Amino acid sequence: MIANVEVESLEAALPFYRELAGDVEVRRFPYRDLELALVGPFLLYSGPLEKYVSQTATVIVDSLHPVLDALNKAGAEVLEAPNDVPNGTRIVARHPDGSVFEYMQPPT
């Protein structure tokens, strides 16, 4: 699981999260109009977030197919259909309890 963290400035936040995560490689990349940085178990977001749905967390899965089946069976709402992003293929769904999760299938 990866914790999603909204930050005002990646530059200001990176030293703290890198210290928390240990000596890990920081992977920075753009996504739409956001700047992101993957720092161990933390995914830092910076940019105009008002048009994005706040996610509780990112869950790493081996395959999105069983996740989609379980979400549909439970009556969850898929907010973003499967789409390719720099870290793999993802979906975003609102669970029946209202919480929003991103599910990420890393590239093979």
Quick check: helix, strand or coil at residue 61?
coil
Q: What are 26-69's pLDDT values in tens digits?
A: 999 998 889 999 999 999 989 887 766 678 889 999 999 999 99
Q: What is the CATH number of domain 1-49?
A: 3.10.180.10
Q: Which CATH homologous superfamily contains domain 53-108?
A: 2,3-Dihydroxybiphenyl 1,2-Dioxygenase, domain 1 (3.10.180.10)
In the chain, which residue ranges form alpha helices assigned H by DSSP? 10-21, 64-74
What secondary structure letter does DSSP report for 72?
H
Q: Name the residue with higher pLDDT: 78 or 52.
A: 78
Q: Considering the entire predicted model, what is its pTM?
A: 0.73
